[in-house]
Amino acid sequence: MNQLRKVDQDDIVRARNVLLASGHRTPSEKVDAYRVLAHVSPVSYLPLLASALQHLSYDGRSGKRHASCLALCEEAVAVARSIDPAEPGRADVLYQALDRFQRELYRVGRHTEGLALRAEMLAMGRAPAELSGDPVVKGLGEWAA
């Protein structure tokens, strides 16, 4: 996501109109709108953008991956990482983005990179488990696989 880009007021109005319009919006329309609005209100729209990028990468109804699936997953991780660490939902958004990206990396045979992401997911899961004393560590199953 290019943080240096100036956002035109017309782009902001168009993006809001897309999201507020009645009817069904395609995943691509949502991503385009969230990309614009994330510049205006990152706290509100960065998590939505990360999620929309993941949804765009894979169509659950048709069972087909987008042609740029790997790039979209990578962008979702970058967006999730750009969320302010003080935001309470950041860890969940980042975990989901990392999970989708590591699965795609494994699918295309990039196992070393996928394993590195699994290690990051495990580290994210260990911190809350240690604080709460919960024996269940999020990410341990993926790491073990």
pLDDT in tens, 23-72: 888 889 999 999 999 999 999 999 999 999 999 998 767 778 888 999 99
CB-CB contact of 75 with 54 (8 Å): no
User: Confidence band (pLDDT; 50, 70, 90) for 2?
Assistant: very low
- Residue 4 tokens, joined: 């240096």
Give the Cα-Cα-Cα angle 93, 95, 101 (nearest 5 degrees): 105
Closest CA to 38 of 80, 96, 99, 89: 80
Give the Cα-Cα-Cα angle 68, 74, 79 (nearest 5 degrees): 120
For residues 32 and 24, what is the distance between their CA atoms, to the nearest angstrom? 15
pLDDT in tens, 86-129: 999 999 999 999 999 999 999 999 999 999 999 999 888 777 66
Give the chain as a 3 state SS string.
CCCCCCCCHHHHHHHHHHHHCCCCCCHHHHHHHHHHHHHHCHHHHHHHHHHHHHHHHEECCCCEECCCHHHHHHHHHHHHHHCCCCCCCHHHHHHHHHHHHHHHHHHCCCHHHHHHHHHHHHHHHHHHHHHHCCCCCCCHHHHHC
